[in-house]
């Protein structure tokens, strides 16, 4: 396969179905595609938080937005038949570890059966050339060893959220092998891949039980932030980093077919791997009179060490992170402060997108 040079010209006019466009990462991706002239159709539940990036940045403007549930195959099939997408980007999910503990049935229903419904609707409609199913870095059977996980490592998942996403990987692999095998690519014309990213940060994330949203919410109230696992190490990165990877991956699938199929990691540079406590300290350096932190014990299992090896994406796709962790935290904090000042958050979010990618056209 050849490296993929992400191109605005490629995406202009393409029919894309984006699931999860009302969410945090989905909202950023919808705006990015809008700005490039893509014909974006979204399918998702109502925003899960208030406020939300979807509302503040007016993500629904300029796209074909459908509010619906992936667990409703009939509704999803109707949208798929109407849109007839060339490219499908599947981001919709129940994305939180602790919510998975609270509602395991809903988590598996959304993440596993929702994904299966999407793939079946795509199969029934036909015409899709590229499909990227987004999962997570937590799909690996995590032994908390020192070296990073590669795409050929064993899948697993200690908690309901993680295992539901590992199931998504298996569902996608099975569907590709059963209905869209590489040997019959000339017949069906569809190439599929899964994408595994780390812990993403960025403006517009208001989800509960997530580190940076919890920090900013607490400090805005003048309260110390409460941490459960200050020594846990995670692959931190701005949401735009894996989103660029998803776009490169989808473009590669469209242009090069099954040569680009399979699983792909999109994680930060090794130098940006750090603990939860270090992230708090770096943010505190940028927040005048940060109220500090508290440590709260938890009996719910979360991984203590998780690292991704993204060398495949770097070497074969030509993808690499553009922002350091410090730049990521600065951009995230700047977005939050702009929102507090009452700025136009659609314009501000698009400006950050330009800062990230505009100089690399």
- Concatenating the DSSP letter of every residue in 170-237 gives HHHHHHHHHHS-GGGHHHH--EEEEEEE-EEE-TT---TT-HHHHHHHHHHTT-PEEES-TT-EEEEE
Give the dihedral of Cα atoms 29, 30, 33, 39; nearest 10 deg.
150
3-state secondary structure of 134: strand
3-state secondary structure of 16: strand
Q: What is the C-alpha to C-alpha distance for residues 52 and 28, in angstroms, rounded to an integer?
A: 11
Task: Residue 110: name the closest of 46, 174, 168, 30 by CA.
Answer: 168
Q: What's residue 292's pLDDT?
A: 66
Q: What's residue 359's pLDDT?
A: 44
**CB–CB of 150/264 below 8 Å?**
no
Q: What's residue 298's pLDDT?
A: 52
Q: Residue 201 contacts by C-beta under 8 Å, 6 or more apart in sequence? A: 212, 236, 237, 238, 239, 328, 329, 332
Element (H, E) at 44: strand 39-44
Q: What are phi and psi of 322, to 5 degrees?
A: -110, -30
> In the chain, which residues have pLDDT < 50?
301, 359-361
**CB–CB of 264/335 below 8 Å?**
no
Q: What's residue 299's pLDDT?
A: 52
Q: What's residue 295's pLDDT?
A: 58
Q: What's residue 361's pLDDT?
A: 46
For the chain, the domains span: 8-197+239-267+307-323+344-355
> How many Cβ atoms sit within 10 Å of the Cβ of residue 286?
14
Q: Find the radius of gyration of the CA atoms of the chain.
A: 19
In CATH terms, the superfamily for domain 8-197+239-267+307-323+344-355 is: NAD(P)-binding Rossmann-like Domain (3.40.50.720)
Tell me the whole-structure pTM to 2 decimals: 0.94
Tokens 């129940």, located at residue: 94
Q: What is the C-alpha to C-alpha distance for residues 75 and 164, in angstroms, rounded to an integer?
A: 23
Q: What is the C-alpha to C-alpha distance for residues 300 and 24, in angstroms, rounded to an integer?
A: 25
Q: What is the C-alpha to C-alpha distance for residues 145 and 127, in angstroms, rounded to an integer?
A: 43
Q: What's residue 304's pLDDT?
A: 60
Structure token pair of residue 83: 């849109």
End-to-end CA distance of the chain: 22
């Amino acid at each position: 396969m050849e490296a993929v040079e992400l191109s605005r010209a490629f995406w202009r006019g393409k029919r894309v179905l984006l699931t999860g466009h009302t969410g945090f990462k989905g909202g950023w991706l919808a705006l990015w595609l809008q700005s490039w002239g893509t014909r974006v159709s979204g399918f998702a539940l109502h925003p899960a938080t208030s406020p939300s990036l979807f509302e503040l940045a007016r993500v629904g403007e300029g796209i074909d937005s459908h509010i619906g549930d992936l667990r409703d195959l009939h509704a999803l099939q109707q949208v798929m038949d109407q849109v007839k997408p060339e490219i499908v980007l599947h981001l919709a999910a129940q994305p939180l570890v602790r919510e998975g503990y609270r509602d395991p049935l809903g988590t598996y229903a959304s993440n596993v059966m929702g994904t299966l419904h999407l793939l079946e609707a795509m199969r029934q409609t036909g015409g899709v050339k590229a499909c990227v199913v987004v999962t997570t870095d937590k799909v690996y059977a995590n032994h908390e060893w020192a070296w990073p996980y590669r795409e050929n490592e064993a899948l697993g998942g200690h908690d309901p959220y993680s295992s539901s996403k590992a199931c998504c990987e298996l569902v996608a692999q099975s569907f590709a092998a059963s209905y869209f095998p590489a040997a019959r690519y000339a017949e069906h014309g569809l190439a599929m891949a899964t994408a595994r990213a780390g812990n993403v940060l960025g403006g517009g994330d208001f989800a509960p039980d997530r580190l940076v949203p919890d920090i900013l919410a607490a400090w805005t109230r003048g309260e110390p932030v409460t941490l459960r696992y200050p020594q846990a190490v995670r692959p931190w990165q701005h949401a735009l980093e894996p989103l660029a990877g998803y776009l490169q991956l989808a473009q590669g699938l469209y242009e090069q077919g099954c040569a680009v199929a399979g699983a792909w990691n999109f994680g930060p540079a090794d130098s940006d791997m750090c603990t939860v406590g270090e992230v708090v300290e770096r943010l505190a350096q940028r927040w005048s009179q940060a109220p500090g932190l508290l440590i709260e014990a938890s009996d719910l299992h979360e991984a203590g060490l998780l690292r991704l090896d993204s060398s495949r994406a770097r070497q074969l796709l030509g993808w690499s992170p553009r922002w350091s962790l410090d730049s990521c935290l600065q951009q995230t904090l700047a977005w939050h402060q702009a929102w507090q000042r009452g700025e136009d958050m659609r314009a501000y979010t698009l400006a950050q997108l330009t800062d990230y990618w505009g100089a690399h056209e």
